[in-house]
Amino acid sequence: MIEFWFEILHFTLLQSALSGLFSLLIGVFLARFLYCHKGLRLEKYLKSFGALTFVVPVMLPALAFLMLFENPYGIVSIVSVHIFLNALYCMTQLHGAYEGFITQEKEQSAELLHLTTWQRLRHLEYPTLKES
């Protein structure tokens, strides 16, 4: 009986760790992509798609993803639903932070210092977003 509870605990911790990690990575990538490529047509669609996570009940995408996979309660289907919902939410929130807290002066300073992409992430974007 105790093995059953440990198996449930293991599954829960694994799926939450995978969901959180991949949602954060995809959300940060999408937010930074939208910030760096302003004016793309794709920006409008991604923002609209991101707003769906606030409006659509959680059960609708969950059922849709569960129907896609053979094992509806497997780790792949559960993590996919979490990533779909949470990555878009993360993208929406971080994109707003990018636009609101990274000012033109900071952008110009980074250009004048000829910062590489990694240096911009480390010295400009990460500290600014961490403060917000």
Residues in CB range of 82: below 8 A, 6 or more apart: 15, 19, 23
Entry pTM: 0.78
> What pLDDT does 40 receive?
83
Contacts of 11 (CB under 8 A, 6+ apart): 75
Mean pLDDT, the chain cut into blocks of 10 residues (132 residues total): 87 90 93 86 82 76 70 74 86 88 86 89 85 75
